[in-house]
């Protein structure tokens, strides 16, 4: 849990934690590239990604090895998915499409140990390096305090209930998905539309009121100053597969241009 502790300290000091989503790319080498790029965290995406359990585990281990905090986005507030991700050593989970306090409470129930939740206790797993802690109570208390439970606000229903969602004990962060939110608000793809910005303001207000971390996705670096101004301290920049794709396109274009001019 050292990486998420560092992440929390960075956010607590007023800095912004920078990460990205890992989807499609199955090689755990991705974590090394992210470390070289200065990323603080990686979100292993099992909502949209077709990773099997061993691939998720490999990404988590690689993130820990290279100092890039490994988090897992699950497909929903489902007990087995959340438990396996955390037992594999993920230092937090993200639950998409959290539309109500009930959804948020289920995310907490499955990700936190008692008394906050009902996470199953199994200590011969990677999250404890296969060694049961000397003091189980202290370990569980620390896990509840440090591991991140993140809920995504992506629909108009979620925005309407954002204050109730943010009030749920055990939720650590509200993360805005501008793309899905723009679709839900009837302005698909227009992430700077006044309706989307107004929703972002409501999310930020709820986070501030209830002491939660405000997070957001973004795809253009020029959006960062505005997000920071709005109190966002956890940002997910696109996806690694897009970065690889663009790098290949740029490299190919540069090589082709050099060939044509020779």
Domain around 98: 2-260
48 is annotated as an active-site residue: yes
| Cα 239 from Cα 250, distance rounded (Å) | 17
**Helix ranges (DSSP H) in the chain:** 2-12, 30-36, 53-66, 79-87, 101-111, 136-146, 156-160, 162-166, 178-184, 194-210, 224-229, 240-260
Output the pLDDT for position 133. 83
Helix H or strand E encompassing 132:
none
How many residues are given for the chain? 262
Any residues with CB less than 8 A from the CB of 152 and at least 6 apart, and which? 94, 95, 96, 97, 98, 174, 175, 176, 177
Output the pLDDT for position 184. 92
Q: Report the SS3 class of residue 46.
A: coil
Output the pLDDT for position 172. 98
Output the pLDDT for position 252. 97
Helices 101-111 & 79-87 angle (0-180, nearest 10): 40
- Cβ(244)–Cβ(33) below 8 Å: no
DSSP one-letter code for 126: G
Q: Which two tokens stand for residue 156?
A: 């108009």
For the chain, what is the domain count? 1
| Cα 92 from Cα 86, distance rounded (Å) | 7
Output the pLDDT for position 64. 98
| Cα 109 from Cα 77, distance rounded (Å) | 9
**Burial of 241 per CB tally in 10 Å (0-12, 13-18, 19+):** middle
Low-confidence ranges of the chain (pLDDT < 50): none
CA-CA-CA-CA torsion for 94, 55, 11, 106, nearest 10 degrees? Answer: 20
DSSP one-letter code for 155: S
CATH number at residue 190: 3.20.20.60
Output the pLDDT for position 191. 84
Catalytic residue among 48, 59, 210, 217: 48
Return the number of other C-beta atoms located less than 10 Å from residue 252's C-beta. Answer: 10
Output the pLDDT for position 63. 98
- Cβ(200)–Cβ(228) below 8 Å: no
Q: What are the angstrom distances between the C-alpha of 56 and each of 61, 90, 147?
A: 9, 9, 17
DSSP one-letter code for 212: P
Angle at 173 between CA 35 and CA 68, to 5 degrees: 10
Output the pLDDT for position 142. 94
């Amino acid at each position: 849990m050292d990486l998420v502790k560092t992440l929390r300290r960075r956010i607590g000091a007023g800095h912004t934690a920078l990460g990205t989503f890992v989807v499609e790319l199955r090689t755990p080498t991705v974590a090394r590239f992210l470390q070289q790029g200065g990323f603080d965290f990686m979100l292993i995406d099992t909502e949209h990604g077709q990773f099997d359990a061993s691939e998720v585990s490999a990404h988590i281990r690689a993130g820990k090895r290279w100092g890039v905090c490994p988090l897992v986005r699950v497909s929903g507030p489902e007990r087995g998915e959340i438990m396996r991700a955390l037992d594999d050593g993920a230092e937090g989970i993200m639950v998409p499409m959290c539309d109500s306090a009930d959804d948020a409470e289920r995310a907490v129930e499955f990700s936190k140990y008692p008394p906050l939740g009902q996470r199953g206790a199994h200590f011969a797993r990677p999250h404890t390096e296969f060694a049961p802690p000397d003091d189980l109570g202290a370990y569980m208390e620390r896990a509840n305090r440090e591991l991140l439970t993140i809920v995504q606000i992506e629909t108009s229903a979620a925005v309407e209930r954002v204050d109730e969602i943010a009030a749920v004990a055990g939720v650590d962060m509200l993360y805005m998905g501008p793309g899905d939110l723009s679709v839900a608000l009837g302005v698909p793809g227009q992430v700077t539309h006044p309706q989307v910005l107004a929703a972002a303001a409501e999310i930020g207000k709820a986070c501030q009121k209830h002491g939660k971390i405000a997070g957001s996705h973004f795809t253009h670096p020029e959006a960062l100053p505005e997000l920071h101004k709005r109190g966002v301290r956890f940002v997910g920049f696109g996806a690694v597969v897009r970065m690889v794709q663009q790098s290949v396109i740029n490299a190919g274009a540069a090589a082709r241009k050099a060939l044509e001019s020779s």
